[in-house]
């Protein structure tokens, strides 16, 4: 063995640079994060030739003190942490103090910076060595220019990709930075061509600046809290999905994270609505107390470790599934209210109610009237305000008029207050929940007319001004699937004995996992018990799943062991149920007689949970009379 050398800082920095400065995008990330940490509200990024020849970032942040300009380039020089304890409460994006040192060791850097109370100064460093420094006029903030990346490490230069590819990596990164920092105005250009220009006026604007107008109508706002965590931002509607994950931006405490259990929770939340290999849209931020999350596990900080991953998974899953559900049901309610021939509520004069009055009713919906607008609140505390003409007012009006928003105490008691006006109330009959999605409603279906079928696959209905096409297979699949789910929810499952009991051989952690979930398996209809050491015997399976491949099922089940998923009974067999529903449903091409068609349409009309088959395909398509007129140019 050779003698041990203590490495000189120049060499050490080049090694460290390998960790931090992988490619031009990593420089942009580090430098822009420094601007964010410095409290900038405006950041401009310019890159040339994919950032290989030049990256310029200027900000209007706090600036660097003249005496700190040189130390900022020393390894482990940071103003962001001082003690080990600070490591567990990191509130800034940077903290390692190695970015500037690493970047400067493999490129040519100029920094010009000015704080509010000092004059501007500049420093120039080439390959880690200071070549110039001094006073220089500048506005408050910091300008950094990084040129000729890897000019002194030719070996690393070879690993750079083509400029266009490096540029596209930077563009993807900048999009994430813009979404993660919606209150900062960003301007980003590549080879002098403007690519993004965000206003710094909130997340909606940021999303607009990245994805354009088309995405805007497909967003559902998320705002979900418990006593420890919160999830905010936007997710995509269940009818809007993408072919890959690049439309998913997940932040944890404002920091963009490439991969975490939050991604898993997101995809599982959409499982019932999406086809396989489709990905939901999201821009969400999860807030977790700083001491419950460790961001110090990855050099470029794209990964995190949670103290309690299961709790995080459960929280995100609940937040997203409930938000989706509320969106689907809210849509239904809005529809009811916009149907003129079917008024959503009746306006009657009601006795006066004094301030702070609690109204008790057994109905789930209570309308109360305050001057002319009508406020409607449902069991979950959603609030809508309508003028007597049925046009929807926004929540700001509610606050202004009612003083405070009514809160739901439980399913039957509503409390509301008014600052100065007396409040009238009108209890209202419970509104029937209609079918979700904005395409059709239950009553409509029941009174529709079957006018034919096409290709022995699509049932054609006419109702009022609309034509509906129903995919008979997909619709039947959904009906069967919903029926199965209902049976499981009502605990109406039964078992079917296997001719030969099936033995599962397991290891210790698998044994523990099965034991933890054994009651749930039994509630689904599995008869399963320990059978000696590290082995279980399955002697019956759910009768709902007569064709179940027991071996595959348990293989799949055990593959969840390392997920953070806290499985619920339904999650466990959702795929199997979908498969069984698919097998037992009528097929496309089956020649259904009139009675069977009526039964199918009636089934859909009686209420399916969504208008998609369990694999996520839509099964109803609607054309209005107007649409058809347009086909023939009767109208334009
Ligand atoms: P870290 O961000 O981990 O602290 P860096 O090497 O990225 O380490 O930066 C070193 C220090 O330089 C920072 O702690 C900060 O004090 C200062 N600094 C760097 N960039 C800026 C900037 N744009 N505005 C103000 N201060 C900056
Ligand atoms: Mg930094």
Q: What mean pLDDT is predicted for residues 260-287?
A: 85
SS3 percent helix, strand, coil of the chain, rounded to 5, is 35, 25, 40
Distance 591 CA to ligand 2 centre (A): 67
Look over the chain and give the mean of its residue pLDDT values, rounded to a whole number.
Answer: 77
Asked if residue 208 is part of any domain, the answer here is no
Nearest partner of 221 among 314, 285, 317, 289, judged by Cα: 285
- Our mutation pick for probing the ligand 1 site, out of 94, 98, 299, counting the most ligand atoms within 8 A of Cβ, is 94
pLDDT at 11 over 60: yes
For residue 99, the CA-to-ligand 1 centroid distance in Å is 8
Q: Are residues 505 and 608 in the same domain?
A: yes
**Could you say which of 168, 203, 238 is where a domain stops?**
203
User: Is-contact 38 63, C-beta < 8 A?
Assistant: yes
Q: Residue 310: pLDDT band by 50, 70, 90 thresholds?
A: confident
pLDDT at 579: 84
Ligand 1 mean position to 60 CA, how many Å?
14
Atom of ligand 1 nearest to the CA of 33: 2
Ligand positioned closest to the Cα atom of 67: 1
Q: Which of 34, 80, 87, 99 to mutate to test the pocket of ligand 1 (most atoms within 8 A of CB)?
A: 34
Residues 323 and 378 in one domain: no
Q: What residues are in contact with ligand 1 under a 6 Å CB criterion?
A: 30, 34-35, 38, 59, 61-64, 72, 77-80, 94-100, 142
Q: Which residue has the higher pLDDT, 470 or 44?
A: 44
**Could you tell me the distance, in angstroms and rounded to a whole number, from the CA of residue 36 to the centre of ligand 1?**
10
349 in a domain, yes or no?
no
Domain termination site, one of 318, 334, 350: 334
pLDDT computed for residue 391 by the predictor: 42
Residue 497's pLDDT is 93
Q: Which atom of ligand 1 is nearest to the CA of 93?
A: 2
Least confident of 185-194, 325-334, 523-532, 579-588: 325-334
Band (168; pLDDT cuts 50, 70, 90): confident
Q: What is the mean pLDDT of residues 433-447?
A: 51
Q: Are residues 229 and 106 in the same domain?
A: no
Residue 475 counted as domain residue: yes
Q: Which of 28, 62, 72, 76 to mutate to test the pocket of ligand 1 (most atoms within 8 A of CB)?
A: 72
Question: Residues within 5 Å of ion ligand 2 by Cβ?
Answer: 34, 94, 99
Instruction: Provide the CATH number for the domain around residue 49.
Output: 3.30.565.10
Nearest CA to ligand 1 atom 1: 97
The predicted-structure confidence for 465-485, as pLDDT tens digits, reads as follows: 888 889 999 999 999 998 888
Tokens of 564: 């953070």
518 shares a domain with 486: yes
Q: Domain for residue 4, yes or no?
A: no
Q: What is residue 356's predicted lDDT score, i.e. its pLDDT?
A: 34
What are the residues whose beta carbons fall under 8 Å from the beta carbon of 67, sequence distance 6 or more?
none
pLDDT at 421 over 70: no
Length of the chain: 636
Q: Are residues 151 and 244 in the same domain?
A: no
Domain region containing 135: 9-203
On whether residue 212 sits in a domain, the answer given is no
Q: What mean pLDDT do residues 600-627 have?
A: 81
Instruction: Please check whether residues 435 and 576 belong to one and the same domain.
Output: yes
Distance between Cα 470 and ligand 2 center (Å):
57
Higher-confidence residue of 336 and 403: namely 336
- The structure tokens 């849509």 sit at 331
The answer on pLDDT for 437 being more than 50 is no
For residue 46, the tally of other CB atoms under 10 A from its CB is 18
Instruction: Tell me whether residue 2 is in a domain.
Output: no
Atom nearest to 57 CA in ligand 1: 23
* Residue 391, in any domain of the structure: yes
Which pLDDT does position 150 carry in this prediction?
A: 93
What pLDDT was estimated at residue 298?
58
Residue 16 contacts residue 76 (beta carbons within 8 Å): no
* pLDDT tens, position by position, 210-237: 888 778 888 999 999 999 999 999 999 9
- What per-residue confidence (pLDDT) applies to 304? 79
pLDDT, tens digit (0-9, with 9 covering 90-100), for 371-397: 333 444 433 333 443 333 334 322 222
Going from the Cα of 94 to the center of ligand 1, the distance in angstroms, rounded, reads: 7
The pLDDT value recorded for residue 425 is 30
Mutate to test the pocket of ligand 1, among 55, 71, 100, 102 (most ligand atoms within 8 A of CB): 100
Q: Chain centroid to CA 333: how far?
A: 24
CATH assignment of the domain containing 521: 3.30.1370.100
Q: What is the 34 CA–ligand 1 centroid distance (Å)?
A: 5
Checking if the pLDDT of 23 tops 60, the result is: yes
Residue 315 in this model has a pLDDT that exceeds 90: yes
Q: Which residue has the higher pLDDT, 484 or 192?
A: 192
HSE toward the beta carbon, residue 564, CA cutoff 13 A? 21
- Ligand with minimal distance to 73 CA: 1
What's the mean pLDDT in 333-352? 39
Q: Are residues 600 and 451 in the same domain?
A: yes
CA distances from 534 to 503, 511, 512, 528, 537 (A): 10, 6, 9, 13, 11
E strand spans, 138-183: 141-147
Q: How far is the CA of 204 from the centre of ligand 1 (A)?
A: 29
Predicted confidence band of residue 84 (pLDDT cuts 50, 70, 90): low
Q: Name 129's bridge partners.
A: 126
| Spatial separation of the C-alpha atoms in residues 56 and 48, rounded to whole Å | 9
Predicted confidence at residue 268, as pLDDT, reads 85
554 and 586 housed in the same domain: yes
Same structural domain for residues 184 and 47? Answer: yes
Report, as an integer, the average pLDDT of 577-586. Answer: 86
| Residue that terminates a domain, selected from 334, 355, 389 | 334
Ligand 2 centre to CA of 207 (Å) is 25
Nearest-CA neighbor of 313 among 223, 221, 229?
A: 229
Question: Which atom of ligand 1 is nearest to 30's Cα?
Answer: 7
In this prediction, residues 345-359 reach a mean pLDDT of 32
- pLDDT band at 580; cut points 50, 70, 90: confident
Q: Which of 143-152, 298-307, 610-619 has the lowest mean pLDDT?
A: 298-307
Q: Is the pLDDT at 109 greater than 70, yes or no?
A: yes
Kindly tell me if the per-residue pLDDT of 54 is higher than 90. yes
Which residue lies with its CA nearest to atom 19 of ligand 1? 34
The number of distinct structural domains making up the chain is 4
Nearest CA to ligand 1 atom 2: 94
Ligand 1, atom 13, residue with closest C-alpha? 78
What whole-number distance in Å separates Cα of residue 258 and Cα of residue 302?
5
The pLDDT of residue 389: 32
User: Is residue 273 in a domain?
Assistant: yes
Neighbours of 377 (CB within 10 A): 22
Q: What is the pLDDT of residue 450?
A: 87
Q: For a pocket test of ligand 1, which of 43, 78, 255 has the largest count of ligand atoms closer than 8 A to its C-beta?
A: 78
Helix (H, G, I), strand (E, B) or coil at 487: helix
Does residue 505 share a domain with residue 446? yes
Could you identify the atom of ligand 1 that is nearest to the CA of residue 61? 24
- Cα 532 to middle of ligand 2, angstroms: 57
Task: Return the higher-pLDDT residue of 160 and 348.
Answer: 160
Residue-level pLDDT at 335: 54
Q: pLDDT grade, residue 290 (50/70/90)? A: confident
Q: Does one domain contain both 324 and 443?
A: no
Ligand 1 atom at minimal distance to the Cα of residue 102: 6
pLDDT for 342: 31
pLDDT above 50 for 410: no
User: What's the gap in Å between 99 CA and the centre of ligand 2?
Assistant: 5
Same domain, residue pair 69 and 159: yes
pLDDT at 314 over 70: yes
Per the DSSP assignment, residues forming a β-bridge with 425 are: 368
Range scoring the smallest mean pLDDT among 70-79, 101-110, 510-519: 70-79
Q: Give residue 193 CA to ligand 2 midpoint distance, Å.
A: 27
Q: What's the rounded mean pLDDT across residues 425-452?
A: 49
């Amino acid at each position: 063995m050779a003698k041990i050398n203590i490495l000189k800082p120049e060499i050490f920095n080049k090694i460290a640079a390998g960790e931090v400065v992988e490619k031009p995008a990593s420089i942009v990330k580090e430098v822009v994060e420094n601007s964010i940490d410095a409290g900038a509200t405006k950041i401009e990024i310019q890159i040339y030739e994919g950032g290989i020849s030049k990256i310029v970032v200027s900000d209007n942040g706090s600036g660097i003190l003249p005496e700190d300009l040189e130390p900022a380039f020393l390894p482990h020089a940071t103003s962001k942490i001082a003690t080990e304890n600070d490591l567990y409460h990191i509130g800034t994006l940077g903290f390692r103090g190695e970015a500037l040192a690493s970047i400067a060791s493999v490129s040519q850097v100029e920094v010009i910076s000015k704080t509010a109370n000092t004059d501007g100064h500049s420093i120039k460093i080439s390959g880690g060595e200071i070549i110039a420094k001094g006073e220089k006029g500048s506005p408050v903030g910091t300008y950094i220019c990084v040129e000729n990346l890897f000019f002194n490490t030719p070996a690393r230069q070879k690993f750079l990709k083509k400029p266009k590819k490096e540029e596209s990596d930077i563009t993807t990164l900048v999009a994430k930075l813009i979404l993660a920092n919606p209150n900062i105005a960003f301007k980003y250009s590549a080879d002098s061509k403007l690519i993004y220009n965000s206003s710094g006026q909130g997340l909606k604007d940021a999303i607009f600046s990245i994805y354009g107008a088309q995405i805007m109508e497909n967003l559902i706002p998320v705002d979900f809290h418990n006593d420890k965590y919160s999830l905010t931002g936007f997710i995509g509607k269940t009818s809007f999905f993408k072919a890959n994950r690049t439309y998913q931006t997940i932040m944890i405490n404002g920091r963009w994270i490439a991969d975490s259990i939050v991604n898993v929770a997101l995809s599982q939340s959409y499982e019932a609505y999406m086809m396989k290999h489709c990905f939901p849209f999201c821009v969400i931020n999860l807030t977790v107390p700083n001491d419950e999350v460790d961001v110090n596990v990855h050099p470029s900080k794209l990964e995190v470790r949670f103290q309690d991953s299961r709790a995080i998974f459960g929280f995100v899953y609940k937040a997203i599934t409930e938000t989706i559900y509320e969106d689907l049901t809210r849509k239904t309610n809005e529809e009811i209210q916009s149907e003129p021939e079917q008024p959503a509520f009746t306006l009657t004069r009601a006795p006066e109610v004094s301030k702070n009055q609690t109204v008790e009713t057994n109905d789930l919906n209570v309308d109360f009237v305050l001057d002319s607008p009508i406020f409607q609140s449902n069991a979950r505390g959603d609030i809508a305000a309508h003028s007597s003409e049925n046009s929807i007012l926004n929540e700001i009006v509610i606050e202004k008029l009612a003083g405070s928003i009514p809160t739901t105490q439980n399913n039957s008691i509503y409390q509301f207050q008014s600052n100065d006006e007396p409040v009238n109330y009108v209890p209202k009959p419970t509104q029937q929940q209609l079918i979700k999605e904005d395409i059709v409603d239950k009553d409509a279906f029941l009174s529709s007319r079957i006018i034919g079928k096409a290709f022995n696959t699509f049932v054609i209905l006419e109702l009022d001004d609309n034509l509906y096409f129903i995919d008979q297979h997909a619709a039947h699949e959904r009906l069967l699937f919903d029926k199965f789910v209902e049976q499981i929810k009502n605990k109406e499952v039964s078992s079917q004995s296997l001719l030969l009991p099936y033995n599962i051989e397991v290891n210790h952690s698998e044994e523990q996992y099965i034991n933890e979930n054994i009651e749930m398996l039994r509630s689904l209809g599995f008869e399963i018990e320990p059978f000696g050491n590290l082995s279980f015997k399955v002697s019956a399976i759910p009768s709902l799943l007569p064709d179940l491949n027991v071996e595959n099922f348990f293989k799949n089940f055990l593959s969840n062991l390392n997920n953070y998923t806290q499985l619920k009974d339904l999650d466990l067999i959702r795929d199997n149920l979908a498969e069984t529903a698919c097998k037992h449903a009528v097929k496309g091409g089956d020649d259904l007689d009139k009675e069977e068609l009526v039964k199918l349409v009636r089934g859909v009309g009686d209420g399916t949970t969504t208008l998609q088959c369990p694999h996520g395909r839509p099964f109803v398509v609607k054309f209005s009379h107007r649409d058809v007129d347009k086909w023939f140019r009767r109208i334009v």
